[in-house]
Amino acid sequence: MIEETSTQDIDRRIQMAAEAFQFLKNTTISERAEFMNAVADHIEALGEELLTVTHAETSLPLARLTGEKARTVGQWRSYAKAVAAGIYTEARIDLARPEKQKGDLRKYNVGIGPVVVFGASNFPYAFSTAGGDTASAIGAGCPVIIKAHPAHPQTSQIMADAITTVIKAFGWPEGIFSHITETSYEIGTYLTQHPDIRAVAFTGSFTGGKALFDIANRRKDPIPVFAEMGSINPVFAFQNLLETKAEALAKEYIGSLTLGVGQFCTNPGVFIALKGNPLDRFINALKEEIQEITPAKMLHEGIFESFEKNKSIAIEQPDVELIASVHTESTAGSAAAIKTRAKNFINNRVLSEEVFGPFGIVVEYETDEELMEIARQLKGQLTITIAATHEDVRDNGALITILKDKCGRLLFNGMPTGVEVVYGMQHGGPFPSTTDSRFTSVGPDAVKRFVRPICFQNWPDEFLPDELKNDNPLQISRMVDGIMNSESLKLQTT
């Protein structure tokens, strides 16, 4: 039940966002980029207080937080650079020709309107209040209303203050950014249903993301929900590689599996390999490696309880063998791994569900058909890793063709935890890992989620947006009659 005062406050904030959207429509890409760089500068200048507060709220190590803060600053700056370059305007100009019935056609992208962002708990900087979703939405020209994650309220407030300070310094409308600290699920529903909200960005559980997706699609005017909901991120290890580096691969795998107490959305929860001596060596090494992992406190009590519950459910499934488990009396997340046969993994859907935390399943197959069936029944994944030699890849072309349809990022060796904030990164995959596999939530291309195209037909040059004017005042790259260039158009105007 939402209190009336809460809905009144939210309505006021959304109205402010709707008004601020009209302001942002008239800002240039250079002005928005300047604003984004100023936010980056302000976050970068935040001192030890920020790190200390976040460490106390999340138990994340200071070194990890220092790196994540730098990544967050880098996100704002790299997205700003991309926005200023006009990449996401995708300006298209097809000049009038005698053979064309419609005459002069010009198209570019504009922001879609106010965006609701749900902060994530596992990345209190990079995927939360001042994270990539907020940066990319503002870069697209969309006001943001952030629903802060209750696991780190002080951190969220500090980051919100950084953004609002820049808004005041620029003299921009207050509604460019709003920070909502209400914790009820009903608030999330209310925000998603509000007729003035035009998109939602979410990082978290499948249950939460799918609920928002369903709410948005039941609206009279459905809106997009860009939800990143995690996955099991399987590793397919092939025989030639496993024979030569079983022990090294076990060390690499457990390092990735338990990084950050397993609280990464790209955590490799499943390891798949052929039954035999190389896999036995891998499992023995894995057992030894797990015993060396010191349990650590998880992000918050809810995540810990969910991890323990889901871990126990998986371990208690039929035809499952416990490889190793680190026991602790504390509330810290303790690593564990189990083994099962391919047929059991295929037939028991419980084993294909994500266990968010330091928990892995080793699946041993005996035939190529079992391996192909595992691939065919896989749900959509953020990542799939191929641990292989070149020969292994050549011998498994049909399998890899199937796996390409199952993920957003396909790795050749290495482990999937962590992302690079660059144009080439894809952090998003087929459902249920995300609700729209066409987009990424990491890298400058994240801006694409919050724009839509509009076409101008036969408009006088003086009334066109700068992105489409003949003299190209922004000096951006545009496609003119099918050819990319940044030149001015030498046309007579009337």
Q: How far apart are CA 340 and CA 126, in angstroms?
A: 36
- Element counts in the chain: helices (H) and strands (E): 15, 17
- 471: DSSP letter: T
Residue 79 is encoded by which pair of tokens?
């997205």
Told to judge if 228 belongs to the known catalytic residues of this protein, a careful annotator would answer: yes
Q: Per DSSP, what are the bridge partners of residue 365?
A: 274
DSSP calls for 252-320? HHHHHHTGGGG--TT---EEEEESSHHHHHHHHHHHHHHHTPPPB--SSHHHHHHHHHHHHHHHTSTTE
Residue 394 is encoded by which pair of tokens?
């050549």
Quickly count: other Cβ atoms within 10 Å of residue 132's Cβ: 31
Candidates 57, 68, 142, 265; catalytic one: 265
Quick check: 90 and 154 in contact, CB under 8 A? no
Told to judge if 265 belongs to the known catalytic residues of this protein, a careful annotator would answer: yes
Q: Per DSSP, what are the bridge partners of residue 123?
A: none
Which residues have CB under 8 Å from 355's CB, separation 6+? 269, 307, 310, 311, 314
Q: Write the CA distances from 115 to 52, 55, 207, integer angstroms.
A: 30, 29, 21
**Beta strand pairing status for 320-325 and 336-341?**
antiparallel
Q: How far apart are CA 145 and CA 280, in angstroms?
A: 51
Candidates 182, 228, 252, 370; catalytic one: 228
What is the maximal distance between C-alpha atoms in the chain?
80
- Burial letters 186-209, b for 16+ CB under 10 A, else e: ebbebbbebeebbbbbbbbbbebb
Residues designated as active site: 228, 265
